[in-house]
Amino acid sequence: MNNPGNSLYSEIEWIGKNGFDFIDITTELPGVDIEKINVGKVKSLLKKYKLGVVGHTAWYHAFRDPQRLVREAATKVLKKEIQFLGRVGSKNANVHLMPLYRFFSVKDGIKFYSDVLKEASKFARKLGMVMMVEHIAGSRSQFDLLQGLFKKVPDLKFHLDVGHANLETKGNKTKEFLRKFSKKLEHIHMSDNDGTDDQHLPLGAGNINWKGIVNLLKKYKYDGTITLEIFSKKSHLINSKNKFKKLWKSVR
């Protein structure tokens, strides 16, 4: 994934030069301003390095806001981000679930997010894209939100984040997410943490059992895209890539 603190152009260059298969483009500011970015230049760089694209919209939009007008304004921005991602070659785009505000229930959250995702999914379909939803933790409420959203928006796909599955819970919940939602699985994020925060550490720097994670993915015959969402030294990202490839090959 491009580091949103850096220029998208320089991130594509680095990712391309270091042997990655695709780039997970996040449309977060300041690195990606969709109102100003040169789409032609982005496409040219992607073509130069033969990189595929996965779409990641900005996590901070107000889709959980109780005010309908606020959600509608956020949805307008989301559509622009989806359109940009489609123009540069992505066939999917994600939306983050976030903790609900105090006094609002999971039922309320399903209503707020489904209002956004129904409209976003309809818009994405016209562009030949699919929407996917990414959980923010491994808590019970996240499972319930996902379950409700998949019922409300049938063509919505699942975006698993192994690091997030390690938060707000006892033990990593990747196994449970796969058991419930593997048939919806579209994409995976990986980073490590110690369970206290979304630290985006290199693989092995936290307490996640990566051999166990790979075993699970092999069990469910996953063969799709995986993003290393690691925001530290670039050398740590390279080391994590090499470590993961070696681990993947070693697990039967």
Does residue 190 contact residue 164 with C-beta atoms inside 8 Å? no
CB 19 within 8 A of CB 238: no
Can you tell me the distance from the alpha carbon of 98 to that of 25, in angstroms, rounded to the nearest whole number? 20
Give the per-residue pLDDT at 97. 97
Q: How confident is the model at residue 13 (pLDDT cuts 50, 70, 90)?
A: very high
Residues 228, 201 contacting (CB under 8 angstroms): no
How high is the pLDDT of residue 234? Answer: 94
Q: Determine the 3-state secondary structure of 187 from DSSP.
A: strand
Q: Whats the size of the chain, residue-wise? A: 252
- Give pLDDT, residue 114: 98
Domains (range + CATH), the chain: 56-231 (3.20.20.150)
Q: Averaged over 126-139, what is the pLDDT?
A: 98
Structure token pair of residue 4 = 């949103």
pLDDT confidence of 80, banded at 50, 70, 90? very high
The answer, yes or no, to whether the previous bond of 154 is cis (omega within 30 of 0) is: no
pLDDT in tens, 171-214: 999 999 999 999 999 999 999 999 999 999 999 999 999 999 99
Kindly tell me if the per-residue pLDDT of 252 is higher than 90: no
Alpha-carbon gap, residue 162 to 137, rounded angstroms: 9
Rounded to whole angstroms, how far apart are CA atoms 193 and 187?
Answer: 20
Cα distance between residue 35 and residue 104, in whole Å: 34
